[in-house]
Amino acid sequence: MNEANRYAAVVAAGLLMSLAGSAVAQTSPADQSRSGPPGQASGGSDSPQIRAPVLRITSIEVIRSSHGPALDIIRVRGLASSSGWEEAELVPLTRGAPPDGMLELVLVAQAPADAREATGFETIEAIFPLETGHPFKGVNVHSASDSVTLTQLPGYAEGKAAGEDCAKCVGKIFVAKGAAPPAGKSAAEVVKEDQLPPNTRVIKHSDGIPTADSNPNRLTLVLNKEGRITTAIWD
């Protein structure tokens, strides 16, 4: 078996192990997935422990060792929606040797068991070592809301700006997408919908709440009769 095919088998085995929820601690990509797939609950505590993709990817860096045999290390930084996210890791999605040479990964972490107030994004990161002789020419890393691609190894790529974290949203007037801010209100007194994270849920004073599902990457804003934000949580 040649080096590319052997490595492809290793990556495929790693994906299968991650889907089975295997807990293994080694240094190859096959052994980086200590938990189940993104969003799967893991046991061992009174409250369900959910591993989910983090909110955004901010950068990818691939560092190559200066002494042989060459070793590439993928370092990914991202943003979690709130405090309380732990144990970040990069889980491979690629099966075998991809025809385009791109390794697909997703940055996941253990999400908080309870809803959290919007106090600002939290930086989170993980590394993923690649074996000598790997077949990959680039890396694409996914989050809950975006992906960032690096097409040259070693190298560095940055993601898009994160946008409004809603740490200071409470007390401000909500302005729906396409609507004009109320007369006499400055930019500092309003929150525009098009600046908010993807999938933000806005609950108006007269709205019902049809489901009680939980999503640690969903920002929920509660408005009063005047359209002022009274609550901002990640739930």
Q: What CATH number corresponds to the domain at position 212? A: 3.30.10
Kindly indicate the confidence band of residue 29, based on its pLDDT and cuts at 50, 70 and 90. very low
Domain boundary among 107, 130, 158: 158
- The pLDDT of residue 101 is 97
Domain that includes residue 87, residue range: 3-158
Residue 164 domain-assigned (yes or no): no
Task: Verify that 225 and 145 share a domain, yes or no.
Answer: no
Task: Verify that 177 and 116 share a domain, yes or no.
Answer: no
How does pLDDT run across 62-98, given as a tens digit for each residue? Answer: 999 988 888 999 999 999 999 999 999 999 999 889 9
Task: Verify that 66 and 141 share a domain, yes or no.
Answer: yes
Residues 233, 117 contacting (CB under 8 angstroms):
yes
Task: Verify that 187 and 148 share a domain, yes or no.
Answer: no
Task: Verify that 194 and 104 share a domain, yes or no.
Answer: no
How does pLDDT run across 144-203, given as a tens digit for each residue? Answer: 999 999 999 999 999 998 889 999 999 999 999 999 999 999 999 999 999 999 899 999
Q: Report how many domains make up the chain.
A: 2
Mean per-residue pLDDT, 106-118: 96
Structural Rg of the chain based on CA atoms: 21
DSSP string, 118-164: ----EEEEEEEEE-TT---SEEEEE-SS-EEEE-SSSEEEE------
- The pLDDT of residue 89 is 98
Task: Verify that 59 and 117 share a domain, yes or no.
Answer: yes
Task: Verify that 117 and 182 share a domain, yes or no.
Answer: no
- The pLDDT of residue 45 is 47
Distance (Å, whole) CA 182 – CA 194:
16
Task: Verify that 17 and 113 share a domain, yes or no.
Answer: yes
- The pLDDT of residue 68 is 80
Residues 107, 54 contacting (CB under 8 angstroms):
yes
What's the pTM value of the predicted model, to 2 decimals?
Answer: 0.78
Task: Verify that 118 and 178 share a domain, yes or no.
Answer: no
